[in-house]
Structure 1
Amino acid sequence: MTIALTSILDTAAAGPLRAELRKAVDGGRPIVIDGSGVERTGQACLQVLVAAQAAAVGAGLTFRIDEPSDKLANMAILAGLRPLLAA
């Protein structure tokens, strides 16, 4: 299942993102995140992505972020979450 991230991943986007990723994990299929269109990323959405990655791995599912934008990659690295990009 491919999920395209919205361009603005702020606190308001965290709830809907969490719901979408939870549904994907519950669906039991590999999860591919398209991060190419992200322009701004906040801590709340990074936490949601980390939690989804952990849930997917715990369920035996593939979870990866394809083509993270420079802004998404830089924020993940700044937050100490480089493994999120390498998953």
Structure 2
Amino acid sequence: MATTVRTTTARWARAGVALFVVGLAFIAIDVLPFFAGDHNTSLWLNLACLLAPLGFAITVWSGVRGGRADQRAAAQRTHGERPIH
């Protein structure tokens, strides 16, 4: 089970980092015209900027999930305890 969680966690982490980078690119695309004097940007561009915090949240969530799975596996190996859910 630990390898399944680790593989799934790695996929979520990669997806989260990718969304974060894409969101940062949209933020740069949204901010640069503002400095040139264009103050009216389209709604889709502003909404696409929300990919950065979404990607950050997914990455943090996958890290916490992977850490908890590793902690459960270590507790099971050392103490022979039941896994904590």
Is the TM-score greater than 0.5?
no
Comparing both chains, which one has the higher relative contact order based on Cα–Cα distances under 8 Å and sequence gaps of 6 or more? Answer: 2
TM-score, normalising length: structure 2: 0.28
The structure with more strand, counted as a fraction of residues? 1
The structure with more helix, counted as a fraction of residues? 2
